[in-house]
Structure 1
Amino acid sequence: MELELRHLRVIRTIAEAGSLNKAAGRLGVAQPALSTQLKRIERALGGPLFHRDRTGARPTPLGELVLARASMLLPAVSDLQDSARRFAFARDQIRTIRVGGTHGPLLGGLVGRLATAYPDVPVGLHTAWSEAEISALATAGRIDIALIGVCGESPPPGGDALLWRTVGVDPVFVMLADEHPLASQPELELGQLAGERWVSAPGDGCFGDCFATACSRAGFSPATFYETDVAACVHLVQLGSAIGLCRATLPPTPGVAVRPLAGVPLRWRHLLGRLPDAPPEPVADDILGHARAVYQEAVLRSAALRGWLPGHPGFGMAS
């Protein structure tokens, strides 16, 4: 006989009642039938679960062990059932999932996972370079989920109107052409790059200021700093015309070497935002789980980040 949850409930009821006779009454079965069932459960578990005498039934040491595990398992299963019912109900109410995000390595993966997870629900997509624009669309209810990034510990735009959850935290790495003289080094000091031309995607947060501050601490001011879209950034790096700043989850790119910066002068937080109860909590939690799965997949694709993370707590996928 294989142990089932109903058997754990029987054991718990006997322990709470203090006797088989009282437990049988609570369970709505005859006492001899309950005694027979208990013997089968005890055979499956390898020994007696209760000391039984004229005063009642008291757990044996094995019984205490089983009851301790049951006290964790039964509430967990009940919570799982409740959560599943709430999720199924909430999912039935969803008519569309509108995702907005800044261009990045996670957005496409999230949309793809949602389209698979919710095959009967249209998944919309709106992109912009501006984190503030995406947040404003979510605040106005024009998108359901906002996937953005913010520099360091800075708060996301939009104040407290949206609920924000962290998907993951990236160090900011530097990308160079494979032929760059420094590309062979496993880690770079920011000061080694003082004479370079820089390129990065635009944004409306504090990233540019934080980068300038980090350069100042390293003893230089960037001579040239281009802002252009992600594809153009990568192309300029491939040509050797500039070096770029990038989130460490940047997908592997031909002709581009990605290297960490010593001391981690810059970091980037991937955030998922939504209005309260839109979408409902169970669906929102599911979407967050998909976003974190996409982030973990991006980590696994990046050899540089995989090797870097174990020595740097506080980075990687949020718990």
Structure 2
Amino acid sequence: MELEVRHLRALCAIADAGSLHKAARQLGVSQPSLTTQLQRIERALDGELFLRERTGCRPTPFGRTVLGRARPLLAEMAALVAEARAQAHGQRLRIGSTASRALPGWLRRLHRRFPDTETTLVVDVSANALLRMVAAGQLDVAFVHEVEGSPLRVPAGLQVRVLMEREPQFLSMSRNHPAARQPVVDLRDFARDRWTVDPSVDGEWDGLRRVFAGAGLDPPVLHTDYHTAASLIVSGEAVAPCQPTSGPRDDMAIRPLQGDPLAVRLLLATRPGAHAEVYADLRAAYRELALRTAPYRAWLHRTGNPLLTAA
């Protein structure tokens, strides 16, 4: 068996994800298929690359050596492909982002500023995956959030600017929830509610678990995606953290949490030499959205946030 680029990509995905299950999900293949592929690679290299443990996979010393050679090769290959495509298709701006309601306003501004540039967008729940894509030359910029207490793994060579040092996470609940009558809610009022969290979002479950532990709470938690969570919240079956830019809904209440125990940092990562206007347009789009959302606007005024100053 001869090693191919896809084999190196699989090894790096397993190392970064920390488990075969998560890596398979990121690669879009089944876990048994990825396990079989790993076994074939190990036979071809005549050595064990990962230790399979109850909590996941971690590279062996031999595996770390192989990964150290594989990563630069993948980065060079990705850069080669990206540069060739850019030359073939003319000017292009490749954007990556975790979920954000600021995206439409940001893209609208970029289209207006760069009318002759083709803009592509990749949305992913994994901020770390997007950062790796920027480092590998597959994206030009990535707008990501970093859960407080769970630092992202920023590859060397990227330029990172902070959009919001601490964006509070509000709480979404049913309109009929008793706490929905209050303009600001207390975390302890939800000690018996079922919480939902998407474990595929980098750092989200760990961050929420730390906040619960700090408050001495141990509520039931349901691991699911946020599309499914929305229907559970509306029906009163669960509550969930949400972005403060979430607009009002007739079937759901969104409230700030007293003391802002949940927060993220908003970052824009770019390849060296990226247009400075990309950050300026993102800041303007985010600011416009934040000021249009009444509860978040009130929070910004109450805390004297620098976002209130003109861009």
Normalising by structure 1, we get a TM-score of 0.64
RMSD: 2.2
Q: Distance in 2 between matches of 1:118 and 1:244?
A: 38
Quick one: which of 128, 144, 151 aligns to 1:132?
128
Give the deviation of 1:119 after TM superposition. Answer: 1.5
Asked if structure 2 preserves the Cα contact closer than 8 Å seen for 1:170 and 1:315, the reply is no
Q: Relative to 1, partners in 2 of residues 1:301 and 1:314: Cα closer, same or farther, differing over 3 Å? A: closer
1:218 corresponds to 2:215: yes
Q: Relative to 1, partners in 2 of residues 1:211 and 1:153: Cα closer, same or farther, differing over 3 Å? A: closer
Deviations 1:134-193 (A, max 9, x none): 111100011111011011265432233311111224101101111211101111111110
1:172 corresponds to 2:163: no
Give the deviation of 1:315 after TM superposition. Answer: 7.1
Normalising by structure 2, we get a TM-score of 0.65
Quick one: which of 262, 286, 301 aligns to 1:310?
301
Q: Distance in 2 between matches of 1:156 and 1:276?
A: 19
Asked if structure 2 preserves the Cα contact closer than 8 Å seen for 1:100 and 1:134, the reply is yes
Give the deviation of 1:313 after TM superposition. Answer: 4.1
Partner of 1:198: 195
Q: Relative to 1, partners in 2 of residues 1:170 and 1:203: Cα closer, same or farther, differing over 3 Å? A: farther
Q: When the two structures are aligned, how many residues end up with a matched partner?
A: 220
Asked if structure 2 preserves the Cα contact closer than 8 Å seen for 1:163 and 1:276, the reply is yes
Partner of 2:18: none
Q: Distance in 2 between matches of 1:309 and 1:296?
A: 10
Asked if structure 2 preserves the Cα contact closer than 8 Å seen for 1:251 and 1:298, the reply is no
What does 1:90-101 correspond to in 2, within 5 Å?
95-101=91-97
> Structure 1: 5+ residue runs without aligned partners?
1-93
Question: SS where residue 183 of structure 1 aligns?
Answer: helix
Q: Relative to 1, partners in 2 of residues 1:315 and 1:191: Cα closer, same or farther, differing over 3 Å? A: farther
Question: SS where residue 259 of structure 2 aligns?
Answer: coil
What does 1:137-286 correspond to in 2, within 5 Å?
137-152=133-148, 154-168=150-164, 169-229=166-226, 231-277=227-273, 279=274, 283=275, 285-286=276-277
Q: Give % identity.
A: 28
Q: Relative to 1, partners in 2 of residues 1:178 and 1:263: Cα closer, same or farther, differing over 3 Å? A: same
Deviations 1:230-272 (A, max 9, x none): x333332222221110121223333121111111111111111
Q: Relative to 1, partners in 2 of residues 1:155 and 1:218: Cα closer, same or farther, differing over 3 Å? A: closer
Q: Relative to 1, partners in 2 of residues 1:118 and 1:103: Cα closer, same or farther, differing over 3 Å? A: same
Q: Distance in 1 between matches of 2:182 and 2:224?
A: 26
> Structure 2: 5+ residue runs without aligned partners?
1-89
Asked if structure 2 preserves the Cα contact closer than 8 Å seen for 1:191 and 1:219, the reply is no
Partner of 1:59: none
Q: Relative to 1, partners in 2 of residues 1:245 and 1:159: Cα closer, same or farther, differing over 3 Å? A: same
Q: Distance in 2 between matches of 1:116 and 1:252?
A: 28
Partner of 2:292: 301
Q: Which amino acid aligns with 2:175?
A: D
Q: Distance in 2 between matches of 1:258 and 1:308?
A: 13
Question: SS where residue 169 of structure 2 aligns?
Answer: strand
**Larger radius of gyration between Structure 1 and Structure 2:** 1
